[in-house]
Each structure stands twice: as C-alpha cells, then as structure tokens.
C-alpha cells in the first residue's frame, strides 16, 4: 500500500515537471536480439506530459512478464530541466521469430509498435571462431563452503558488441563474489591450428542451504567482421557475423552440516591455520608490565566474516585487556583467504610460573570431508618480579643477622641552626611536590565519545545509496552488515528485508556482475528498507567498558 502511494506521488510529480512538454514514448530492448526462453528487458521511456498510466495487459498475450520496475530521472543543463520516466519489464519470449510489440496506452498517449526478433536457444558450445568453457572446482560441497566457478572464453580475433550473461543459479540463496577482474586477457592458445585469444574470469559462490543446485548455462554473443580492414575514410563497414554460444549447465549437490561436525562454529574450509605472536620475541613476562599477544586465524576458502571469535581462556594470575578484532579477506593466486586477528594485552600480577592454556579450533576439511582441529599447545611461562622488588628472594627464611660491634668512625656534627634550615627547605619542597601531584591526578580527563562501528558505516552506506553508486553501496553494505551480525551473508540477509529491499539487493548484484554493467538506481529504496529492518531488529546490548589498563589509585 505504501509503495503504491509512493509510486502515485512520483508519477504526479513527474507529470507536473513535464507539463509544458509534449509526450514522446520510446520502446527499447536489452539485449537487442533476445534468445528464446531467456529473460530480457523491455523498456518504455516517456518524456513530456503523459495523460495517464500505462496499461501493459496487451503484452501478457504474447510475452511472459516476470518483473516490473519504474524509475524517474530528472535532467538539467542549467537553463532548462526535463524529466524522463522509465518502465522496465522483465519478460521472456515463448517462441522464435519476429514478434510485434503492440502499442501500449498511457492514458490518451500511445507508444509506437515495435518489431522484436527472437533467436533460437544456441545448442553449440564452440565454433571455429569462438568457444566457451565453464567449470567448477567441485560438484559436491557443503553449506556456506566456497565453490570456485571459472569461465574461459576463447576468441579468434577481435569481436564487437560482445555480451556474456551473468551467472545464475536455480536458487537465489547463493552469495556470489568476483575474485578477478572482468575477463582479463590471459594469453594466446593454439587449438586445431587456430590461435585464440584467451579471456578468463573467476567467481566464488557460497550456497546458504543444502540440496540440489544447478548452475544455469552461460550465454555468449558477439559480432565479428571477418577479414575487414578499413582502407579509407569512405570505406563502408560490412555487417558483422553474429556468433552465439551456450555453455552446458552444471549440476551441484550441496550437503548439510554433518552430524559429526563439532564446535560452536561451522568452519568449512580447504585449510586452516592458527598462529600466535607476541609483542616481544622471545616474550618476557614481568609483574606490572604489559605484553601483547596476537592470535591469527586464517582459513582458505572462506571470508573473514565467516570466522568465529577465538575466545582464549583466561589466566587467573594475569589481568587481560582485549582489543577490537581485525578481519580481512584477501585473494591470493585465485584463492580467497579469510583472516581474523585478535589482540590481548596481559599484565601479570604476581611472579612465578604460570600456565597459558591451549587453544583449539575445530573445523571441517572440505577436501577430505573430515573433522580436523587446529591447536596452539599450552605453555608454561615464568613471570619475573617487578623491578623495585628484584632484590626480594623467594626464600621465606630471611638471612640471619649476627650482632657485631663495629667501631664507628668519628664524624663532625653540624650546628643545630644549620639542621633546622635544611629540614625547613625539605618540608617546603615536599609540600610543593605533593600539590603538583594532586593537581595532575585530579585534573578532569576529556571523554572521547565511543561511536558504534556501525554508525560510520551506516553514514557511508546512506551517502553511496543517495549517489546510486553500485560498487560503493555494495562495499558499505557489507561493512555495515558485518557490524550488525557475525557472520553476515548478503544473500541470507536479503530475505530478512521487505520485497523492495530484497529486489534492490538482487538488482545491485546484477549491476555489479553483469558484463555490460547496467545502471542501478534503487539506492534510496534499499536504504529505506534497511531503516525498516533496523526498527524491527533486536537491539544489541552494549558491552560493559573494560577496566583501564593501568588503573589510577589515590
């Protein structure tokens, strides 16, 4: 109901803005030659004063409408302003050949008829001038485990107007990220006496639920002008030969979390490492002196957001002050590696031997399909006494002192007046020092307000949404989400939003990974849906502040 109200308000504003202009309506198709059974976009772009809303009912008789979006864009050159309203329909053509798009009524205004040519679904994977290969590093995996998807494209020479369809799955609960640039040039390869230019792109997919999963065919379409060389400025460019290819679908089986998997967190990875470093090498422990321990958990095939808190065991004879964890995801040689670092400052409170407990993290090896445990073994350390008590022995029996008579050398005794003056000066200096000490320790300290990590990321997210910047919005959305919950998976989180918010995220991912990078203009809708989610989401309880590292005692 609310979205309908916003739609009518936007349309009314558009009609007021363009009231002085005559109405013109264009019909556009993307891509220009759609394939039978594949979804394509049919756009109606209106400029000027429309007399009513569109009626798309005649289209339903010849096309299958799977989605419907609207958008208003305003343009200004400093002197005049204009508005353009766009209706974008996601449609499928049930048959091949020429299909006539009928005239659509916009009140008293009419769109022109449009002839659409639908081509047959390609059945070939390769031709003499091009071929495509799509492969995954495994056909059976686990929930939330990484599946690498590699798309190899081989072209004989230069193609014009190339198009590669985005990766699609039979389900929508799959988080997809790009590990490489968009089809960079790899090199040349010889096949059957033909030299091909090799282009490659690698993706990482993380299914959220178990069950059968199908990687849909990838479509390639490109135009090539064979043997064409421009001889002069007036040369007529011949018509390009269109090549259309389709990869084979790939069936995947996603397994649930095994019953034998132990631990508080599910860590499906190819390799896991747990490392320990100290601020001193080798570490030295002294009563009252701080030393920092850094724990690093690294997992190949996972993002940093999927890694759990390490929770090292406490040591009774030490005060412990944890720092904010650091998470980072890197791509090294085509492999995604999640890294989580946690720092802890330790301050020993008493000397002697102490035990640092072992730390174990269970994880699931996706290569061997077995449970494994990575462990830092326990270690016994020796804490030295504080510097001022270094002369104190651990022996509880004091050394016996035998009285002896020692001749005292003769010394001159100062006059009583000199002694009184010296004592008076010492007393005055003591008062001055005590006063300065009291002022220093009782001076009020400025308190720096603690801003929640999600506050800054939310402001950055709002700015990128208002700017309709797809890349920045995606980056800030992940940063904001990870500040809200751990682990954070965008595909799963999208299902917690309302329908417009879910659709905004799906279109955002399409805009990022579509080869032609279509425009994305749903930033404000996405931010509105996030605000609605925050109003109903459970509030997190703020963690209590830690004791100061060096508490002051007066």
- Check residues 404 and 519 and name the one with the higher pLDDT: 519
Q: What is the pLDDT of residues 40-49, one digit of tens each?
A: 888 999 887 7
Buried-exposed string 191-226: b where 16+ CB fall within 10 A, e elsewhere:
eeeeebbebbbbbbbbbbeeeebebbbbbbbbebee
Share of the chain residues as helix, strand and coil, in percent rounded to the nearest 5: 20, 35, 40
Mean pLDDT of the chain: 77
Radius of gyration in angstroms for the set of CA atoms belonging to the chain, rounded to a whole number: 35
The number of residues in the chain equals 554
Cα distance between residue 344 and residue 291, in whole Å: 8
Q: Find the mean pLDDT for residues 240-258.
A: 87
Helices (H) then strands (E): counts for the chain: 7, 30
Label residue 517 left, alpha or beta by phi (over 0 means left) and psi (-120 to 50 means alpha).
left
pLDDT-derived band at 547 (thresholds 50, 70, 90) equals: very low
Q: Kindly state the DSSP code that residue 388 receives in the 8-state scheme.
A: G
Q: What is the pLDDT of residues 430-461, one digit of tens each?
A: 556 555 554 544 444 443 444 445 677 788 88
Q: Using H for helix, E for strand and C for coil, what is the string for 28-62? A: EEECCCCECCCEEEEEEEEECCCCCCECCHHHHHC
Residue with tokens 């007046």, as numbered in its chain: 417
| Residue 107 · residue 50 · CB < 8 Å | yes
Give the whole-number percent of the chain exceeding pLDDT 70.
Answer: 72
Instruction: Give the pLDDT score at 57.
Output: 87
Question: Does residue 463 have a pLDDT over 80?
Answer: yes
Q: Report residue 438: phi and psi, to 5°.
A: -65, -40
Smallest Cα–Cα separation from 246: which of 166, 119, 126, 129? 126
Number of Cβ atoms within 10 Å of the Cβ of 80: 9
For the record, the structure tokens of 532 come out as 């609605």
Q: Find the mean pLDDT for residues 493-509.
A: 84
Question: Does residue 389 have a pLDDT over 90?
Answer: no
Give the whole-number percent of the chain exceeding pLDDT 90.
Answer: 24
Instruction: Give the pLDDT score at 65.
Output: 87
Q: What is the DSSP string of 13-29?
A: HHHHHTTTS--EEEEEE
- Check residues 37 and 470 and name the one with the higher pLDDT: 470
Instruction: Give the pLDDT score at 539.
Output: 55
Instruction: Give the pLDDT score at 363.
Output: 95
pLDDT-derived band at 410 (thresholds 50, 70, 90) equals: very low
State which H helix or E strand residue 517 sits in: none
Question: What is the pTM (predicted TM-score) of this model?
Answer: 0.50
Number of Cβ atoms within 10 Å of the Cβ of 426: 9
Three-state DSSP at 530 gives helix
Smallest Cα–Cα separation from 356: which of 379, 384, 383, 382? 379
Q: Tell me whether strands 194-207 and 147-155 are parallel, antiparallel or unpaired.
A: antiparallel
pLDDT-derived band at 384 (thresholds 50, 70, 90) equals: very high
pLDDT-derived band at 11 (thresholds 50, 70, 90) equals: low
pLDDT-derived band at 126 (thresholds 50, 70, 90) equals: low
Instruction: Give the pLDDT score at 232.
Output: 47
Helix axes 499-513, 470-484, angle to 10 degrees: 130
pLDDT-derived band at 548 (thresholds 50, 70, 90) equals: very low
Q: Find the mean pLDDT for residues 225-246.
A: 61
């Amino acid at each position: 109901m609310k979205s309908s109200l916003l739609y009518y308000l936007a349309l009314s504003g558009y009609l007021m803005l363009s009231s002085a202009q005559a109405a013109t309506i264009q019909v556009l198709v993307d891509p220009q030659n759609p394939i039978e059974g594949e979804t394509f976009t049919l756009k109606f772009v209106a400029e000027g004063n429309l007399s009513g809303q569109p009626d798309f009912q005649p289209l339903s008789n010849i096309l299958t409408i799977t989605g419907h979006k609207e958008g208003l864009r305003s343009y200004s050159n400093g002197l005049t302003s204009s508005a353009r309203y766009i209706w974008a329909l996601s449609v499928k053509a049930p048959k091949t050949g020429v299909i006539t798009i009928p005239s659509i009524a916009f009140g008293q205004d009419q769109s022109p008829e449009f002839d659409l040519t639908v081509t047959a679904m390609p059945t070939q994977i390769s031709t003499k001038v091009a071929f495509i290969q799509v492969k995954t590093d495994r056909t059976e995996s686990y929930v939330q485990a990484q599946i690498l998807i590699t798309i190899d494209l081989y072209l004989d020479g230069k193609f014009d107007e190339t198009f590669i369809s985005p990766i699609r799955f039979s389900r929508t609960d799959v988080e997809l990220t790009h590990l490489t640039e968009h089809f960079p040039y790899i090199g040349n390869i010889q096949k059957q006496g033909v030299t091909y230019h090799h282009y490659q792109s690698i993706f990482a997919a993380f299914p959220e639920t178990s069950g059968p999963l199908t990687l849909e065919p990838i479509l390639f379409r490109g135009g090539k002008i064979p043997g064409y060389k421009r001889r002069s400025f007036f040369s007529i460019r011949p018509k390009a030969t269109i090549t259309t290819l389709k990869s084979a679908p790939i069936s995947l089986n996603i397994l649930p979390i095994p019953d034998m998997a132990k631990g508080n967190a599910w860590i499906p990875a190819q390799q896991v490492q747990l490392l320990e470093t100290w601020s001193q090498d080798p570490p030295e422990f002294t009563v009252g002196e701080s030393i920092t321990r850094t724990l690093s958990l690294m997992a190949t095939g996972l993002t940093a957001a999927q890694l759990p808190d390490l929770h090292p065991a406490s040591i009774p004879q030490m005060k412990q002050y944890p720092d904010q964890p650091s998470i980072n995801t890197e791509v090294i040689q085509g492999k995604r590696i999640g890294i989580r670092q946690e720092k802890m400052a330790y301050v020993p409170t008493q000397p002697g031997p102490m035990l640092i407990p072992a730390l174990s993290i269970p994880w699931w090896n996706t290569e061997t399909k077995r449970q494994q445990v990575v462990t830092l073994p326990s270690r016994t350390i020796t804490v030295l006494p504080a510097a001022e008590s270094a002369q104190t022995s651990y022996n509880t029996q004091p050394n016996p002192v035998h009285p002896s008579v020692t001749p005292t050398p003769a010394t001159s005794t100062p006059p009583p007046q000199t002694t009184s003056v010296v004592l008076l000066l010492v007393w005055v200096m003591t008062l001055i020092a005590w006063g300065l000490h009291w002022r220093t320790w009782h001076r009020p300290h400025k308190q720096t307000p603690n801003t929640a990590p999600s506050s800054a990321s939310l402001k950055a997210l709002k700015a990128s949404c208002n700017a309709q910047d797809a890349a920045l919005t995606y980056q800030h959305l992940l940063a904001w989400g990870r500040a809200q919950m751990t682990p954070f998976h965008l595909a799963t989180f999208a299902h917690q939003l309302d329908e417009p918010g879910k659709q905004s995220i799906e279109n955002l991912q399409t805009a990022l990974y579509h080869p032609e990078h279509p425009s994305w203009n749903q930033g404000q809708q996405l931010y509105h849906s996030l605000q609605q989610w925050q109003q109903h989401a459970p509030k997190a309880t703020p963690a209590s502040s830690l004791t100061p590292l060096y508490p002051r005692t007066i």
